[in-house]
Amino acid sequence: MTTYVERLALGPADGMPVAVKDTIDIKGRPTRAGCPALADAPPAEEHAEAVARMLAAGARITGKTVLHELAFGVSGINDHAGTALNAQFPALIPGGSSSGSAAAVAEGSARVALGTDTGGSVRIPAACCGVWGMKPSFGLVSRRGVMPPESSLDCVGPFAATLADLQWAMSVLAPGFAPQRIGSARIGWIAGQAEPAIEAALRAALDRPEITVAEVALTQLGAAFEAGLTVINAENWAALGPLLATGLVSPDVAGRIRAGAELTPADLAAAEAVRAAATAEIDAALASVDLLALPTLAAPPPSLELARRDPSAVAVTRNVRAFNLIGHPALAVPMGSLAGAPLSLQLVGPKGGDALVCAAAALITG
């Protein structure tokens, strides 16, 4: 197991140590996305904007991290580029697709790491590895220099060891982001989204004097989960389909890519209708509360052994993908562990409310 594809030391020796997922360009290094089909990719001509911003802020880039092949999977298992070790929970999957970035923060080789989140690919590994991970509001952080170049779902987002480090990263990545403080928050709890023990532990964490909790019922989350997969499959077929001709894409990933070829214009139109309905429902809910909360993971992460033996056991995106479809900011907040597995609370805010989400996390964990 390994965390990095390549170790680097770009930037000042005393700068904030930052790791970078290998779908994000670093000038002079190839971007291979953990896939043999990209083994001969040319070196990037420029830094991705996210990397350039980090370097301009005085960060030290520690290296490029491993990932689930082509960022299209959630276990983090990659027998070509390497499977990252989940330092806090070594028997469990590190999550995907940004597994190495989460692992780098969890093991302490970086205080901040950059990942990408199309259907949970920052929040899932953050939850599996017991660290902070944020999917910003869609479009808030530049995707210039990120693979794939076009996406209606994907966001560059940071992992961090602490909330303070996460907010530093967001202030670097997102023009206009400024950490804020709040004295109270109204949070809408979305019940019924996890195993009872997980739900009870996370719901209890909200019982604080500064927080008012109201239960919120949402009818569109399931449909948004499915519609999000439709959009992901269609966009990945367009972006990654040509790589299948090499014969060098792993069979499991190749099969998921091919699924996009079967989609019709009617399928995409239906998914877009769900996107509109889910957005309206979430926006209406956020008109009566400041934020929404639910478990990041509906069940404990499976073991690496189980994930290899039964890929269907890695059903970890149930609670996260909908928020990619609708574009709202979502933060995975580490909340310790339960029965030897990580606990993570997901906070969701209004579009553009990224700083509010972080401020509410400070109330809950402070």
Active site positions, annotated: 21, 97, 121
Are 92 and 341 in contact, with CB atoms under 8 Å apart?
Answer: yes
Q: How far apart are CA 260 and CA 229, in angstroms?
A: 10
Per the listing, tokens 């309905």 go with: 277
Is residue 29 within 8 A of residue 6, CB to CB? The reply is yes
Of 176, 177, 175, residue with least CA distance to 167: 177
Distance CA 214, CA 236 (A): 38
Q: Look up tokens 């949070």; give the residue.
A: 187
Residue 334 CA: distances (Å) to CA of 113, 257, 281, 316, 338 = 16, 32, 27, 16, 12
Cβ-based neighbour number of residue 162 at 10 Å: 15
